[in-house]
A and B are shown apart, each in its own frame.
Chain A
Amino acid sequence: MSLLLDVKGVTKRFGGVVANDAVSLSVREGEIAGLIGPNGSGKTTLFSSIVGAHPIDAGAVLYEGRDISALRIAEIARRGLTRTYQQTRIYGQMPVIDNMRISAPDVKEGILPLFRRAGRASEARARDLLSFVGLYEKRDLLAGSLSFGQQKLLEFAMALMSEPKLLLLDEPTAGINPTLINGLIDRLKRANKELGVTLFVIEHNMRVIMNLADRITCLAHGQVLASGTPDEVREDPRVLDAYLGAQ
């Protein structure tokens, strides 16, 4: 499998805090990669560094073999690399279905496509994806009136609507009703298999990430502590230490 994402020695500082310290890791095309680490270890910052939400201080981010570290977030999104947010970001004063409509892939082509009719296929896809995450009944409600967990699901559906090649998900199960988590894991796997979206997932829930990811990287204090298969990472004493030490 070829490398879709190759992060090489990325460093990001906030004043005196080194949130990412020469981080190197990679994501292969078609896989589900996981990112774990204690609170404050720099996971979200790494996602922001990858998608161009902020300039990085050192290193390079290669996506499809090209260095994208100087590009801005919108340009990177247009190439098919998108992220969801830990705190969820949706368009709160718009109905759920309109959140989907404005996430269609052709809005990334410019202003003029916005005047084209969305087309039946696009409408159907918006409805299908809402059904996929279980929000079809809520389609006419304002997105801001949904619960946190439902907003998370909507944001996931919006991301899929935009047809990314690589999707970075920041704690997709946070705030989701525990009885629904297994269903969500199943949906993430289906998005990966059936829609062909490569996933890179930050997850706090160990059971979830062990179940989901093909390979896992563990961060601590901004540095890569360990990486490998779920079993390798789970049994790595440094990972156990980092988690126990952080409790």
Chain B
Amino acid sequence: MATTLMPGQKRFTPSAILADLTLLAWFVFSLFPIVWLVLLALKTDAEQTTTYFSFSPTLDNFGTVLSDRGEELTSVDFPTALLTSVLNCAGAVLVSLVVGIPAAYAAGRWRFRGSNDLMFTILSFRFAPELMVIVPLFVIYNQIGLFDTTVGMIWVLQLVTMPLVVWILRSYFQDLPEDLEHAALLDGYTRRRAFVMVALPLVRPGIAAATLLAFIFAWNNYIFPLVLSESEASTVTVAITKFLGGGGQAYYNLTAAAAVIAALPPLVLALTIQRYLVRGLSFGAVKS
């Protein structure tokens, strides 16, 4: 384990130690906000504005956030928001996969009239700032009755998830040798079965990566649920901020506890999907 060195690598050279220290510093630096968040979540109301590291930790905040008491304090139904977020994001990712995988395959395999323009259009969803499109979307959503609905949220989140799915998977499909599918066609499989039985299983790592990224991006989205939903379809990202209390008292410790809870679903998803991500690297049996 720790003793496996690359050929020619020495263990304790000055530059190796320096590199390790730099990495450690970076590690602490990037992890600090998370540590701070967790600490804050464990503090009582009285201690919430202190910066001490030593205090008597309590799990009460988590209980408050997840129970009716949180709603009484801030009028936010956090558990419902959590569920809404899961539904919205899972729905958005699912729709993106169902539509995006065939789209990515087509775009990766064939050049058809306008294929480049189409791909660019899909990509452009990502670099148009959300604040730019939100006002017209708000007007449209109000007029056609999609405001504050799950369907509306899933739909608008396609702007976030679809480009990721299509662009990630297109490159996976492009890297697959076409001859694999050709061999299946010659064996008597139809185009569709060659796609389902040959191409699709081989891009599973790509699907896993795209699913994870799309879910995280959708999960973290703030502007769309903030403007396009009120209560029914309001999500955790919006709910968290309510604990900061618009006008009333700010509960930093509750905000932190809510944020910690909100970070769990993507984490769980990442851990579940992880093995598919890694396994993809060990195929490599195709001569290119």
Chain A complexes with chain B: no
Q: Which residues of B contact A (CB under 8 A)?
A: none
